Amino acid sequence: GQQLNQSPQSMFIQEGEDVSMNCTSSSIFNTWLWYKQDPGEGPVLLIALYKAGELTSNGRLTAQFGITRKDSFLNISASIPSDVGIYFCAGQLNGNTPLVFGKGTRLSVIA
């Protein structure tokens, strides 16, 4: 089945630093979503992308839908302690197919 390669698997950064993570796929997706999951909670939708090349921001978060439709990245600027968690990318081929999740990026922020 389809798989998403999400990297890095984990990262440790200093508070205030910028963060970048990405997802790549061997096949095309027509929708990309980014979720954040805190320990013991469900994933929370951060950003949804629907068009190739689209760049969307949500506060300190910015995500882009790659022009090839096979990748997406998420940037977090000026990280703060509450950014700690696991970030998942998810892709969808078309409206009738389920989401395919990446394996997640575990972010740790050192104050």
Partner 1 sequence: DAMVIQNPRYQVTQFGKPVTLSCSQTLNHNVMYWYQQKSSQAPKLLFHYYDKDFNNEADTPDNFQSRRPNTSFCFLDIRSPGLGDAAMYLCATSRDLDGRKGAYNEQFFGPGTRLTVL
Instruction: Transcribe 10-67 into DSSP letters.
Output: EEEEETT--EEEEEEESS--SEEEEEEE-TTS--EEEEEE-STT-EEEETTEEEEE-T
Q: CB–CB of 23/33 below 8 Å?
A: no
| Piece in contact with partner 1 (CB under 8 A), picked from 15-23, 59-67, 69-77, 98-106 | 98-106
Does 102 bind partner 1 (CB under 8 A)? Our answer is yes
Q: Say whether residue 26 binds partner 1 (CB under 8 A).
A: no
CB of 16 to partner 1, least distance (A): 27
One residue of 69, 71, 104, 105 binding partner 1 per CB under 8 A: 104
How many residues sit in the footprint of partner 1 (CB under 8 A)?
22
65 binds partner 1 (CB under 8 A): no
> Using the rule CB under 8 A, is 28 a contact of partner 1?
no
Cβ burial, residue 21 (10 Å; 0-12/13-18/19+): buried
**Tokens, residue 50:** 């629907």
Minimum Å distance from CB 43 to partner 1? Answer: 5
Options 11-19, 58-66, 67-75, 94-102: segment touching partner 1 (CB under 8 A): 94-102
Size of the chain in residues: 111
